[in-house]
């Protein structure tokens, strides 16, 4: 019976596999610092395979580089032995909700979600640290050998939150920020669907570096837009140079050819421009210029109004915008307008019934359309009854505009791994309330400590993550209270998970280090403080199961059994597994079944378990932890 690996995927190994398929001659072997033979890539050969000319050494080329970039790539690819532990008491409607809130370092979380949400996320929005010199960034350190890595990744408090102040006096000011952002962007790209998009808020300070990093991670050809958001109206008269009144929102697609931009709803103001002065049976229309502001001899001809015989020619130096035969056909079809008295320069009638059922988004988003920072603060004040509970919340209308342009539809997933006060979750619930949708969110927030002098701390919130969770609770209740009839089935719940060290003891990952003297340690390789529910969700991660799947907990023959999504998985982590119990579990014909490795009593029982499933449920994949 195979064992689950119980750690995030090693992306280096996966990348080597892909290279081996394309260029098997570039795969070689070397030895690590412990002398163990491992597969490796011959990069000199690979460079030659990807070049049409002879490669004799490094050459100058256009690239984004900074001190620490190679380490950032290593950071993105290195596996971790961590897990997500469910926290039912902080959740809302844990058994039924499809929404997720994860508390922990977002780099760890992105690694843990690689298999579960690979190619499943429709939209990502992040509002990362802007690197102003006053904020904090993550200090990721994975420069270590395998032994050190395993020891560190299995020690709960050794790493801490890894937050560091990045002041402008730091000689690696931009480099440290890029090293923090780069691996997170790489990992997030894997989670996007082929038609998925990512929106990133940023200010002028790092927009140029972020743009280059995204060009490299997502591909320059997948750049969609640099949206300029008017974040405030009133100027700051004490500004030293210019009053800063905007921010940027970079938009990239995973695959631009697969992405279709979502149109914005037509406003009453836009529709009001369409009239019907001639009672055309096709309905309201507005006129559009028929001339072209350049001269083309073939399109310089007379247009005759058939109602009064009046003749028109294009203005001097211009020409008509369509060939003569086309215009004559349009006149017959009553698509050319000569004005109420028949004497105006001819124009084209554009019918409201024939225009797009929406408005193409523009790259400037005004505060009147999507809100500003003051609106974001006011909304938080209304929710928490305190204006300073969170300093820089985005207005939900801004996120809602992104959801619409992302064409974020029913059952789609939105991910925000710099969740802050959880404005993205608020916007998703608000949009669902408007149209009855079932869109889902995944929020990720580090339990960053609130300043003890802050209003948030005085109000009882010790971390930013606590603020985010409470905002979702209150915003959800408020949305339902305001529209109790239409929001009766609205999902305002969320499952809370917290990043923790692996449920498995160190010996699970380094069995080769066992000797006869410490063999007793392997009898119980699961940490004593871990619950069956903790083990279950680590199995979810290892097998790539959606964290929101329904879970039924039953007692069968005195054993606790988890039945996930009817037959997606059956799991039992009790000891003393016998063949009679296994026969009852096989009746469910699950796609997967998992047990503790030490639960069978003997190897013969373990072998019989596999045989019973092969006989009664041959489609079941049986594994142990």
Cα separation, 506 vs 520, whole angstroms = 14
pLDDT-based confidence at residue 510 (cuts at 50, 70, 90) = low
pLDDT of res. 144:
45
| Higher per-residue pLDDT: 387 or 405 | 405
Question: What does the CA dihedral 45, 50, 53, 56 come to, rounded to 10 degrees?
Answer: -40
Query: What's the rounded Cα separation, in Å, for the pair 433 and 485?
Result: 10
pLDDT at 506 over 80: no
Percentage of the residues of the chain whose pLDDT score is greater than 70: 89
> Is the pLDDT higher at 504 or at 566?
566
Average pLDDT over residues 418-434: 96
**What pLDDT score does 58 carry?**
62
Q: Is the pLDDT of residue 620 over 80?
A: yes
Every domain of the chain with CATH number 3.40.50.150 lies at: 79-265+359-500
Whether residue 420 is predicted with pLDDT greater than 80 in this model: the reply is yes
At 471 the pLDDT is: 96
Query: Does the pLDDT at position 320 exceed 90?
Result: yes
**How do beta strands 136-138 and 163-165 pair?**
antiparallel
489 or 170, which is more confident?
Answer: 489
Q: Is the pLDDT of residue 619 over 70?
A: yes
- Pairwise CA distance, residues 105 & 446, whole Å: 5
- What is the pLDDT confidence band of residue 89, given thresholds at 50, 70 and 90? very high
Question: Poorest-confidence range of 209-223, 259-273, 580-594?
Answer: 259-273
Mean pLDDT value of segment 252-265: 93
The overall average pLDDT reported for the chain is 87
CA–CA separation, 154 and 395 (whole Å): 39
Q: Mean pLDDT lowest for which of 78-92, 153-167, 494-508?
A: 153-167
Q: Which of 583, 581, 549 is nearest to 566 (CA)?
A: 549
| Predicted local distance difference test score (pLDDT) of residue 443 | 98
Nearest Cα residue to 185 out of 208, 166, 212, 163: 212
Per the CB < 8 A criterion, the answer to whether 66 and 81 are in contact is no
Give the pLDDT band of residue 602 (cuts 50, 70, 90).
Answer: confident
- Phi/psi at 395 (nearest 5 deg)? -70, 135
Residue in the structure block whose two tokens are 């109004």:
305
Any alpha helices (H) in 510-586, and if so which ranges?
A: 532-543, 579-586
CA angle 613, 614, 618 (to 5 degrees): 95
82, 7 contact by CB (below 8 A): yes
pTM (predicted TM-score):
0.82
Report the chain's terminal Cα–Cα distance, integer Å. Answer: 10
Higher pLDDT, 364 or 519: 364
Lowest mean pLDDT, pick from 15-19, 397-401, 492-496? 15-19
CA distances from 425 to 75, 100, 470, 624 (A): 28, 10, 11, 36
Phi, psi of 561 (to 5 degrees): -125, 130
Judge whether residue 339 has pLDDT over 80.
yes
pLDDT at residue 159, rounded to an integer: 43
Determine the Cα–Cα distance for residues 363 and 201; give it in Å rounded to an integer. Answer: 14
**Residues above pLDDT 90, as percent of the chain:** 61
Query: pLDDT at residue 482 above 90?
Result: yes
Q: Which residues contact 296 (CB under 8 A, 6 or more apart)?
A: 319
* pLDDT(227) > 50: yes
Mean pLDDT of all residues in 544-559: 96
Strands 192-202, 311-312: parallel, antiparallel or unpaired by DSSP?
unpaired
The pLDDT value given to residue 235: 80
Contacts of 504 (CB under 8 A, 6+ apart): 6, 81, 525, 526, 527, 625
Lowest mean pLDDT, pick from 139-148, 264-273, 294-303, 588-597: 139-148
Tell me the mean pLDDT in the region 39-55: 75
Nearest Cα to 251, choosing from 228, 234, 271?
228
Predicted confidence at residue 414, as pLDDT, reads 98
Question: Which residue bears the tokens 């505009």?
Answer: 401
* 162 has a pLDDT exceeding 80: no
The average pLDDT across 592-600 equals: 91
Query: Is 132 a residue whose pLDDT tops 90?
Result: no
- pLDDT at position 152 is 47
Report yes or no: 444 and 102 within 8 Å, Cβ to Cβ: yes
Specify the length of the chain in residues: 625
* Nearest CA-CA partner of 541 in 564, 517, 523: 564
> What's the angle, vertex CA 155, arms to CA 114 and CA 593, rounded to 5?
45
- Read off the pLDDT band of 45 (50, 70, 90): confident
Q: What CATH superfamily classification does 79-265+359-500 receive? A: Vaccinia Virus protein VP39 (3.40.50.150)
Predicted pLDDT at 148: 52
Average pLDDT of the segment spanning 1-26: 79
- Position 61 scores a pLDDT of 62
Q: Which range among 70-79, 141-150, 457-466 has the greatest average pLDDT? A: 457-466
The pLDDT tens digits of the residues spanning 259-276 come to 999 999 888 888 888 999
The Cα 299–Cα 322 span in angstroms is 7
Residue 151, pLDDT > 70, answer no
Residue 516 has pLDDT above 70, yes or no: no
pLDDT of 25:
73
Q: Who wins on pLDDT, 359 or 10?
A: 359
CA–CA separation, 7 and 16 (whole Å)? 19
């Amino acid at each position: 019976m195979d064992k689950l690996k119980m750690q995030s995927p090693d992306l280096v190994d996966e990348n080597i596999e892909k290279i081996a398929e394309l260029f098997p001659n570039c795969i070689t072997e070397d030895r690590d610092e412990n002398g163990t033979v491992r597969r490796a890539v011959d990069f000199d050969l690979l460079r030659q395979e990807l070049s049409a000319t002879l490669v004799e050494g490094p050459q100058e080329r256009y690239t984004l580089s900074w001190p620490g970039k190679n380490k950032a790539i290593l950071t993105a690819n290195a596996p971790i032995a961590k897990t997500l532990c469910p926290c039912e008491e902080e959740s809302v409607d844990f058994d039924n909700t499809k929404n997720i809130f994860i508390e922990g370092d977002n780099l760890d979380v992105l690694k843990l979600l690689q298999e579960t949400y690979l190619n499943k996320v429709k939209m990502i929005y992040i509002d990362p640290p802007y690197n102003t010199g006053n904020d904090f960034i993550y200090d990721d350190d994975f420069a270590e050998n395998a032994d050190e890595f395993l020891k560190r990744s299995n020690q709960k408090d050794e790493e801490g939150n890894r937050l560091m102040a990045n002041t402008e006096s730091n000689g690696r000011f931009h480099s440290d920020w890029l090293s923090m952002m780069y691996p997170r962007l790489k990992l997030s790209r894997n989670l996007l669907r082929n038609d998925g998009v990512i929106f990133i808020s940023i200010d002028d300070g790092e927009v140029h570096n972020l743009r280059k990093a995204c060009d490299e991670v997502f591909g320059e050809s997948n750049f969609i837009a640099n949206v300029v958001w008017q974040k405030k109206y009133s100027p700051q008269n004490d500004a030293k140079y210019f009053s800063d009144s905007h921010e940027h929102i970079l938009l990239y697609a995973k695959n631009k050819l697969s992405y279709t931009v979502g149109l914005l709803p037509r406003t009453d103001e836009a529709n009001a421009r369409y009239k019907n002065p001639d009672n055309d049976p096709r309905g309201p229309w507005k006129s559009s210029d028929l001339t072209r502001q350049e001269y083309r001899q073939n399109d310089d001809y007379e247009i005759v109004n058939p109602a009064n015989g009046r003749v028109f020619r294009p203005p001097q130096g211009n020409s008509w915008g369509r060939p003569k035969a086309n215009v004559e056909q349009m006149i017959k079809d009553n698509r050319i307008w000569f004005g109420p008295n028949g004497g105006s320069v001819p124009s084209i009638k554009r019918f409201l019934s024939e225009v797009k059922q929406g408005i193409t988004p523009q790259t400037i988003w005004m505060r009147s359309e999507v809100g500003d920072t003051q609106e974001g603060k006011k909304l938080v004040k209304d929710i928490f009854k305190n204006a300073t509970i969170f300093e820089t919340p985005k207005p939900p209308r801004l996120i809602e505009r992104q959801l619409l342009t992302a064409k974020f539809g029913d059952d789609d997933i939105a991910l925000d791994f710099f969740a802050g006060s959880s404005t993205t979750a608020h916007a998703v619930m608000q949009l669902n309330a408007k149209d009855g949708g079932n869109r889902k969110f995944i929020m990720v927030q580090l339990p960053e400590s609130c300043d003890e002098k802050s209003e948030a701390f005085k109000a009882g919130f010790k971390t930013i993550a606590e603020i985010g969770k409470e905002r979702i609770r209150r915003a959800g209740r408020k949305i339902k209270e305001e529209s109790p009839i239409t929001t009766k089935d609205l999902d305002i719940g969320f499952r809370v998970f917290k990043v923790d060290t692996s449920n498995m003891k160190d010996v699970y990952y380094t069995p080769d280090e066992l000797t006869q003297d410490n063999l007793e340690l392997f009898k119980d390789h699961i940490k004593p403080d871990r619950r069956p529910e903790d083990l279950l969700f680590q199995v979810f991660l290892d097998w790539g199961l959606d964290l929101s799947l329904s879970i039924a907990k039953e007692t069968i023959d005195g054993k606790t059994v988890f039945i996930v999504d009817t037959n997606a998985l059956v799991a039992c982590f009790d000891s003393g597994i016998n063949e009679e119990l296994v026969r009852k579990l096989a009746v469910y014909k699950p796609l997967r079944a998992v047990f503790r490795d030490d639960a069978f009593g003997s190897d013969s029982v373990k072998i019989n378990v596999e045989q019973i499933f092969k006989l009664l449920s041959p489609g079941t994949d049986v594994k142990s932890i």
